[in-house]
Amino acid sequence: MPCNRLCVKKYTKWRALDRAEVYDTVYLIYPNWCGTVPMSVYTFLESCNFSGKKITHLCTSDSSGIRTSINEIKVLCPNAQIGEGLLISGNAVDDQETMKRIKQRAAIK
């Protein structure tokens, strides 16, 4: 079990997206904590209905991979289309090549 579930109580101040039905794509950007999404993001994903939505996600990490967080997002949002995700090393966040990859992955013009 990821350590954030053992060490952190559920964060309950999130609320569902207002008018989530108007969004086709949700951009989820989060730090990778102990190999997975932070508990606050976990709670947010539980509180919203992402059925039929595309979730494009990016996480930052200096040591962990992205696979566990992708699997957890798929479990939390079973009826959403989950992209492969993009893992950015914390040291590379300001790098121009990294910003190019982020824009390409998110299809930002």
In the chain, % of residues over pLDDT 70: 71
Q: Which domains does the chain have, with CATH numbers?
A: 3-9+23-91+98-103 (3.40.50.360)
**Which of 108, 109, 4, 1 has the alpha carbon at shortest distance from 56?**
108
Count CB atoms within 10 A of the CB of residue 17. 16
Q: List phi, psi (to 5°) of 34.
A: 55, 35
- Better pLDDT: 27 or 1: 27
What digits encode the pLDDT tens for the residues 34-72?
888 888 888 888 888 889 999 988 888 877 788 888 899
**Which of 104, 103, 102, 106 has the alpha carbon at shortest distance from 92?**
102
User: Could you tell me if 38 and 69 are in contact, meaning their C-beta atoms sit under 8 angstroms apart?
Assistant: no
Question: Which range, of 18-22, 33-37, 63-67, 72-76, averages the lowest pLDDT?
Answer: 18-22
Joined together, the tokens standing for residue 17 give 């997206």
pTM of the shown model: 0.71
pLDDT at position 36 is 84
